[in-house]
Amino acid sequence: MTTAVQLDGITKRFPGVLANDDVDLTVEQGTVHALLGENGAGKTTLMNILYGLYEPTDGRIVVDGDERSFESPRAAIDAGIGMIHQHFMLVEPMTVAENVTLGAEPRKWGGLAVDADAAVREVAALSEQYGLDVDPTAPVETLSVGVQQRTEILKALYRGADVLILDEPTAVLTPQEVEELLSIFDHLTDQGKTIIFITHKLGEAMAAADDITVLRDGQTIGSIAADDTSREALAEMMVGREVLLEIERPPVETGSTLLTVKNVSTPSQRGVPAVSDVSFSAHAGEIFGIAGVDGNGQRELIELLTGLSTPASGSIVFDGEVITHASRRERIERGIAYVPEDRHAQGLVMPFDLVENGLLGNQRTSSFANAGRIDWAACKEHASSIIEEYDVRPPNPSASAESLSGGNQQKFIVGRELARDPTLLIATHPTRGVDIGSTEFIHEQLLALREAGVAVVLVSSKLDEVRGLSDRMAVMHDGMFVDTVDPDAVTEEELGLLMAGEHPTGGEQ
């Protein structure tokens, strides 16, 4: 076996951060290699260095036995390295063929024109050769996420990549699409390609990779063959201590119905229904989970519940009163707290300090504003108490939100929302991009609320999280609730089918 890529002692220093600290990585040709680690462990930085996006502060890159230094992605591409980023680098209004050939367009008329037909032909042939099944003439914005990802793979292959780097490739896929992706990996390695994929999911690394390298805090913890390790051992390597993979959910007496949603529907920007005929209820002392692949109407449904939009049809009843058309403001006043999906755009005003951010949503509450005048002293006290109670670091109320880490930002938002003393909490992806310590903390908070008799609606694309925390769980696909299941009884396979919009048993509604 030959070595496709070897990284020796890579160090990368950013202002104030040591992202990679003397990292080593060896990848054999024709294998699948998983780069495993928590968020912020330095995995993506390392791969961006290999792809020429960053220059390493120190270290050696060896590709196919030659030492190389890539000043730009173009140099890396020329050396046969391709990268598929987590956020796809696709131009949405352009077709697959236009995207695949971007920057390397086949020309005609002495270079004066792009040969569009040749591009389509070449991309179709490539798609065929590697079993990718992509229509070259389809505009990218009309394609599903899975197909967009395959377009990215085509892009790399078109440029002659022998080593493919994929950054968190499964984060946005259904379990079935993940299966397909793994079989594409097989196709590719059969034809001699090498694959490096970045992940923080233990199970995937075990299932897909031949070898696994674990990074933590910018350092290599170790490399190991997938067959020679266990989930527990990998988890300990990732986190540096023993972790509980299971969430403990003590039994709690369920109380009265707090939220009843009946047959709500809403159209999306493109005219197709984003939420269609969804009904459910949530009770005091209960966590109601909503699972599903991102982009299946969860966001739109949550906007209907929180008052950011109103449904075209159907009704929402909260605490015995109809709130279908109540404004966002009114819902805040009624005791509906909301931990939003996008903390950078919604949950926090990034240039504001924590005092000002603590006021977000409370700016018309009498304890902070009197006759339109803001009581900044009370606001400062409020922010300080959130910081103390929820262990936000640095413990400085005049720090700007943008200066905090993701975990601390999220803890602050959770603290602010819980300080409203809510009757109902709606939380969407509350631990996305949050470190393991903060994740555990946020999980504890949600469970404590449940014990205190609050109703919680939880949306998450992390299956472990939503299964572990929820008392009941709905699976959403294409704007509909495919089914509501008992999270303790349902199997992973059943969930996978539900998330793809199919009923495992067929019959029931």
- Dihedral, 396, 398, 400, 401 alpha carbons, nearest 10: 60
What is the spatial distance between Cα 376 and Cα 389, in angstroms, rounded to a whole number? 20
Tell me, letter by letter, the H, E, C secondary structure of 372-397: CEECHHHHHHHHHHHHHHCCCCCCCC
Among 118, 317, 369, 419, binds other proteins (CB under 8 A): 369
Name the residue among 34, 53, 62, 45 with its Cα closest to residue 11. Answer: 45
User: Of 155-184, which residues contact other proteins (CB under 8 A)?
Assistant: 155
State which H helix or E strand residue 99 sits in. Answer: helix 96-101
Query: Residues 73-112 vs other proteins: string with x where CB under 8 A?
Result: xx--x-----x-x---xxxxxx---xx--xxxx-x---xx
313-318 and 257-267 beta bridge pairing = antiparallel
How many whole angstroms separate alpha carbon 481 and alpha carbon 476?
Answer: 5
Contact code string over 406-445 relative to other proteins, x by CB under 8 A:
----------------------------------------
Q: Which one of 39, 309, 405, 484 is in contact with other proteins (CB under 8 A)?
A: 309
Q: Where are the alpha helices (DSSP H) in 191-260?
A: 202-208, 231-239
Q: Give the shortest CB-370-to-other proteins separation in angstroms.
A: 10
Compute the least distance from the CB of residue 101 to other proteins, in Å: 8
Binding of other proteins by 396 (CB under 8 A): no
Q: CB of 327: closest distance to other proteins in angstroms?
A: 7
Q: Are 36 and 205 in contact (CB under 8 A)?
A: yes
Binding to other proteins in span 229-268, by CB under 8 A: 266-268
**To the nearest whole angstrom, how small is the minimum distance from the Cβ of residue 477 to other proteins?**
21
Of 129-137, 279-287, 335-343, 427-435: span binding other proteins (CB under 8 A) = 335-343
Please identify which residue in the block is written with the tokens 């509906």: 336
Helix (H) or strand (E) holding 194: strand 194-199
- How distant, in Å, are the alpha carbons of 375, 382, 384, 408 from that of 399? 19, 14, 11, 12
Residue from 58, 67, 72, 129 binding other proteins (CB under 8 A): 72
Size of the site for other proteins (CB under 8 A): 68
Q: Which positions lie near other proteins, rule CB under 8 A?
A: 14-16, 51, 53-55, 72-74, 77, 83, 85, 89-94, 98-99, 102-105, 107, 111-114, 155, 266-269, 271, 307-312, 327-329, 332, 338, 340, 342, 345-352, 356, 359-361, 363-364, 369, 372-374, 376
